[in-house]
Copies of this chain bind each other. A is one copy, B any other.
Amino acid sequence: MSEVRIVQNVLKHNDEIAAMNRERLREAGVFCIDLIGAPGCGKTALLEATIQQLHGRINLGVITGDLATDRDAQRISAGGAPVVQINTGKGCHLDANQVRHAIDGIDLDGLDTLIIENVGNLICPIGFDLGQDAKVGMFSVCGGDDKPAKHPHLVYAADLLLLNKIDLMKHVRFDRDVFRRDAKALNPDVELIELSVADGRIDRWLDWLVSRPQTARATADAGKGV
């Protein structure tokens, strides 16, 4: 039983720190998103385009996780958003403690939303709470229409699924009905947004993103009877 117990301890410890992160971000009025997707689905490119097209509608900060290199942070900071890179070495996912330290490097004052770009991996990040308010799963048409069915745990956990690279739809075999049907069968409540970062077609994602802090504040205010 010792292995099971230690895994439980690690997760319990992670959850405690995640709760602290969540509290800290809520006090600062920052909505937090955990962005999970396969390597190469376009997470960093989406963040670059998002920062470029937001035009001040909300103030965005980014934490980005990779095994190695600070290339993602370089790309994102070029757009002017505050960004902290976490290098995990051989680590296959971010954990709450890494995010806690990364938050120390970001000025939360005036920030509306923090996006955590997780390590490129469709499996391991799902079990680790980081203190986020929403989980976004990201796929691309290049990855095939079977990915929701093959990664049910991400689909269950996600508030929103993004399907990127729809500009390449005509060049690859991809049945959007299969993708949509499998995703909705697993999680009928999940939202689905198609986008093309390459073509700059990310309007629906921007609208979703901008509406989140407002929705969260309205819900919080309703809870307080405001």
A90 at the interface (CB under 8 A from B): yes
A92, B124: Cβ atoms closer than 8 Å:
yes
Q: How far is the CB of A9 from chain B (nearest CB, A)?
A: 8
A67, B151: Cβ atoms closer than 8 Å:
yes
A26-34, A139-147, A201-209, A211-219: which lies at the interface: A139-147
Q: What separation, in Å, do the CA atoms of A122 and B173 have in the docked complex? A: 23
Show 7 A/B contacts (Cβ-Cβ < 8 Å), sorted by A. A2-B2, A38-B120, A39-B147, A69-B150, A71-B149, A90-B126, A168-B168
The residues of A with any CB-CB pair to B shorter than 8 Å are: 2-3, 6, 10, 38-41, 66-69, 71, 90, 92, 119-124, 126-127, 139-140, 142-144, 146-147, 149-153, 165, 167-168, 171-173, 198
Closest 8 CB pairs of A and B: A40-B143, A142-B142, A92-B123, A38-B39, A40-B144, A92-B124, A38-B38, A3-B6
